[in-house]
Amino acid sequence: AQKVTQAQTEISVVEKEDVTLDCVYETRDTTYYLFWYKQPPSGELVFLIRRNSFDEQNEISGRYSWNFQKSTSSFNFTITASQVVDSAVYFCALGGGGNKLTFGTGTQLKVEL
Amino acid sequence: ETGVTQTPRHLVMGMTNKKSLKCEQHLGHNAMYWYKQSAKKPLELMFVYSLEERVENNSVPSRFSPECPNSSHLFLHLHTLQPEDSALYLCASSQGTANRYEQYFGPGTRLTVT
């Protein structure tokens, strides 16, 4: 069985602070994919990144960075110099064999002025 | 970005009504999905279609009936719903059903069953 745990239900930061969203996963598949999505108040989930299990290189995209560590089954997401527009619910998801994604319960990020 | 559109955005219906949710994707994808998002719960996959053929039915009650007439359109027909069916219903599409493809989501239909 697959499982994704996002232990942080809600995080509040002040603008310009750095914030890390945690994601821990469980799977027996040797080939799998990890995703992060952002859900702003408008409702639609916005795809941010996909990582496959054979690529542990960290990735940086502007103020966003991702740290994938197979040894700890974690795929954490850091926003540097957070902005109010980053306020949203962020979901981590896991896809193994088959065609089903397993989503975490999400982390609500609030960035205040 | 209007890659995946959903109508209506909001829907209030009584338990005896029949209504349909519509999803359209403009991305040339071959796979489409319906998800249910309830408060404080993970996203629940309901149905998966690949090239208009249903490939996944995640133990969804029969009061939800999907239809995929072509690879660009997906419907969710609703009848005799229960109040616990109130949720945000999200449609998504992807290039294929394998998990190496990211999914693109629509804005959702906020459904309230009274």
| Contact in structure between B93 and B42 (CB atoms under 8 Å) | no
Q: Which two tokens stand for residue A35?
A: 């995703």
**Is B10 touching A (CB cutoff 8 A)?**
no
pLDDT tens per residue across all 114 residues of chain B:
569 999 999 999 998 889 999 999 999 999 999 999 998 788 999 999 988 888 877 789 999 999 999 999 999 999 999 999 999 999 999 998 888 889 999 999 999 999
Which residue is listed with tokens 């980053």? A86
**Is A104 touching B (CB cutoff 8 A)?**
yes
Which residue is listed with tokens 């795929």? A75
Interface A-B, measured as beta-carbon pairs within 8 A, has a size of 60
Calculate how close chain B gets to A76, using CA atoms only, in Å: 18
CB spacing of B106 vs A99 below 8 angstroms: no
Question: What sign does the dihedral A36-A23-A51-A68 (CA atoms) show?
Answer: positive
Closest to B53 (Cα-Cα) out of B36, B35, B71: B71
